[in-house]
A and B are shown apart, each in its own frame.
Chain A
Amino acid sequence: MSTGGAEDGADAAVWVRPDGRSVRYYRLGELLPPKPAVAVVTGADTYVGRALAQALISAGQPVAALAAVPADLSAPSVLGRAGFHPAWEAMLAAHDASVIFHCTRRPFPPGGTRPARREAALAWETHVADTLEMLRRWERDDDAPPVVLLSSAAVYGAYDPHPVSERTALHPDSAWAESLAAAEALVAKVAPRHAILRVFEVVGPDDRGRVADSRAHPWTRLAAGFVEPLPAMWDCVALDEVVAALMRAGRHLAGGGPSLVLNVGSGIAASPGKLADAFGLPAPPPQPARGLVADMACMQATWGWAPAAPNLGALARASRRAVQGRPAEAPHD
């Protein structure tokens, strides 16, 4: 056995057969030049997806992003969905995906006026068809990258007992939740290494002042002046906490960790050290319960406002000012 020289073109292992004929052997990785490793973020224009992509970039992680609308990221971005898209394929072909963050989006606002069948079709197209297309890109690769799926606690339906655990049976009670549960099943079956993060109510503004994907989101309604208690107030989780959990899940899988399913929100609130346990990190110091309190800490950092106690009226006014781009004023409550 020898290695072919320059006159043979690229290097290949060569075996000269007893009859004098030579056989050249090529193996994956020998002829293909190394490609830059990137973290792939789908849904990079969404409320959580964009915050994640920005956090990854800030941490020095090269990112390749897929966004339905321009996300203004300092990273190679392709506009489109995770389904068929030649430009997306070209970008993937030019990079080595070390981990895929598949950030689902809510394709329609809850309580909208679309017919239920239309909403169901949109939900299944967004969550199931697009997820399947994305996964099939790597289905035959022996070294398929790990997938972190941003799912939702909506797959539990109206959960009880509280807090809900990951072992609780799924009872999705809407087309959106059903399609998310199906996307979870797809990822679990097709992606050899995966992390499914079921996120509870995500709150807190991003750097654009957005508080959700949808204008009809309860928190946006609150910001718009609808002073009403949120139905799952104490299951809220701050946006930065969700981003941190996604990044930890990515590092966990990229480091060879096993697949996992994790609640982000209620479960963490019930057990502050749970995230550290799941990812094998050092136990954190005792923290206050997450949820609305954590979100208020986020708002304090963003808006310089620190209420002594939750006051939805003041919160609504401050949120509205932030969303409308006005400077925040200290409330007089």
Chain B
Amino acid sequence: MISLVADVLTDEWVSLADARQERPLTSPGESACPFCPGPRSEVGLTPFHVAVFPNRYPVFDHPGAAEVVVYSPRHQDDYGHLSPAHGRLVWQVWRDRSAALAERTDVESVLVFENRGRRMGATIDHPHGQIYGYPYVPPRLAHERQVGHGSACRLCRVDAWTLPAAEAPHWRLVVPRAMRMPYQLALVPRRHVGTLAALSQEEVAEGAHLLQRAYRAYDRLMGYRAALAMGVHQPGRAGHLRLECLPIERGQLRQKYLASSELIMGAFVTDIPAERAAERLQAALAAESLMSPASSAHHPGDPKEPRHDHSC
């Protein structure tokens, strides 16, 4: 049973999907992974590099949609460590499915995202992301359509409110001065486009490589597979596309929790200056050059025991 409940105090929607309590949990290497190819798995036995299917435990379903994007048939893979061509294919699939969902009359906006790592909330370790087709426009996206519209677009003037982390011909990888999470990154196309579908092939190829490089830079910075939320803001024709990476750790095994201020008032607190974060990310990104997709066979695993740090 899925239902949308309106919060009369904030005019925001809350989705209620009680069937999601039944979601499976898998541990690393578990043979019963539902996303590994097999006769009883979600993806069946057909060979693939990337597979997409409706979420068995959806948050939205007519109206709206919830899809799962499995990045690879290999359980131990990771987006940041796929081959460059494979990384580009993932972006092409995001683009394809975003455009298809946006065409539906019961979908108002589309979010491509990944919860990377169990500490970020991923219930299945197999490399995958998701796509939500919201039956409404979330408040943050509605605001972005206002500030990213026309000649006053703030994302076209990204240098004014960010620090550079890496430059490329078609994209900027930047650290917002107002980081909501430590080591937050934004990947912004230099061209004013509002959707993944509007990107050229060259922009897709370069953006895919930069995002892979950002993932690997986080791993290098933390010393293990960094937990993070990645999302693609697609405001459509009224705004400027951007991808956002929000790590949940302020340092090695020091988790940043969303606590009272963030949860109750939506007021974020950060304790790492953007300049220091940009400096560290620049070094990690330079080491993880565009040319060097590290082997997934060697990508760092999850830490065993994160140190709980409630001093936020």
Contacts and interface: CB of A to CB of B under 8 A. Distances in A.
A118 interface: no
Interface in B166-186: 166-170
Grouping DSSP codes into helix (H, G, I), strand (E, B) and loop, the B interface class, with mixed when no group exceeds half, is mixed
| Residue from B43, B44, B92, B201 whose CB has the most chain A CB atoms within 10 Å | B92
A7 B93 contact: no
Contacts of A84: 286, 289-291
Interface residue tally of chain B, by bracket?
Answer: 35 or more
A178 to B, nearest CB: 23
Interface of A: 1, 7-10, 12-13, 15, 17, 21-28, 31-33, 82-90, 93-94, 133-134, 136-137, 139-142
Contacts of B103: 7
B48 A25 contact: yes
A134 B291 contact: yes
B209 A93 contact: yes
Contacts of B56: 21
A33 B84 CA distance: 15
A94 B201 CA distance: 8
B51 interface: yes
Interface stretch (B3-11, B94-102, B137-145, B156-164): B94-102
A226 B90 CA distance: 61
B92 to A, nearest CB: 4
A131 to B, nearest CB: 11
Contacts of A9: 96-97, 99-100
Contacts of A7: 100, 103
B308 to A, nearest CB: 35
Given A90-B169, A93-B84, A133-B289, A27 B48 contact: yes
A17 B44 contact: yes
A24 B293 contact: no
B54 interface: yes
B103 to A, nearest CB: 7
Contacts of A22: 53-54
B77 to A, nearest CB: 10
A8 B100 contact: yes
B51 A26 contact: yes
Interface string B32-43: 000000000011
Contacts of B92: 10, 26, 31-32
B249 interface: no
A7 B168 CA distance: 34
A155 B268 CA distance: 60
A89 B170 CA distance: 12
A139 B56 CA distance: 36
Contact of B291 (A15, A32, A136): A136
Nearest to A11: B96
Given A23-B43, A90-B205, A93-B206, A139 B49 contact: no
B53 A26 contact: no
A273 B50 CA distance: 50
